[in-house]
Amino acid sequence: MAGSGETWAWPQRLHHEVPGWVKAGAVFHVRLRADVSQFPLLTDPELAERLLAAARNYDERNEWRCLLMLMMPDHVHALLAFPSGKAMATVVGSWKRYAARSLGVKWQVNFFDHRVRSERELAETWIYVLRNPVAKGLCEKEEDWRWVCRTER
């Protein structure tokens, strides 16, 4: 992806296509990794605020529905839904390009995505994402982590 700030790492190509039988608006757990050379960390106060503002902007413009986004020092967790006619790879790639060009973020190529298949799985994933900073020893309680954006739930 030219100009996206991405660097190559294994695997080099994931397709991120939503099967036709999956309803528009299905929720996906998406994880974006920063390149190991990324500095400042994604949790740098100014950078984190701008990344979360960009996520809210995409939500307001109906590029995606962002239920939850959480910044970690070297990666981002998000629960996202994509409206009909909005390809996941295109929307996420566009957001990463903005972050690379405007904010100087260096990303690893591609991203992880997993379709959330039930309300139970959504609840479990929601808890997992919010517990991530606690599990990594970055804060004592979920409520202490400030680099999170919640638009629903």
CB under 8 Å to 59, separation ≥6 — which residues? Answer: 65, 66, 151
**pLDDT tens digits, 99-150:** 999 999 999 998 999 999 999 999 999 999 999 999 999 999 999 999 999 8
**pLDDT tens digits, 14-39:** 455 655 555 667 899 999 999 999 99
- Does residue 2 have a pLDDT over 90? no
Query: Taking residues 68-72, what's their average pLDDT?
Result: 98
**Cβ neighbours, 10 Å, residue 116:** 20
Whether the CB-CB separation of 82 and 24 falls below 8 Å is answered with yes
- Of the CATH numbers 3.40.50.700, 3.30.70.1290, 3.40.50.300, 3.30.1330.40, which one belongs to the domain with range 22-150? 3.30.70.1290
Residue 151 has what pLDDT? Answer: 78
Residue 10 has what pLDDT? Answer: 46
Domain ranges for the chain, please list them.
22-150
**pLDDT tens digits, 81-97:** 998 888 889 999 999 99
Residue among 32, 67, 33 nearest 148 (CA): 67
Whether the CB-CB separation of 7 and 35 falls below 8 Å is answered with yes
Residue 4 has what pLDDT? Answer: 58
Give the angle 45-48-54 at the CA atoms, nearest 5°.
140
For residue 31, which phi and psi values (nearest 5 degrees)? -125, 125
Residue 14 has what pLDDT? Answer: 45
60/62 Cα distance (integer angstroms): 5
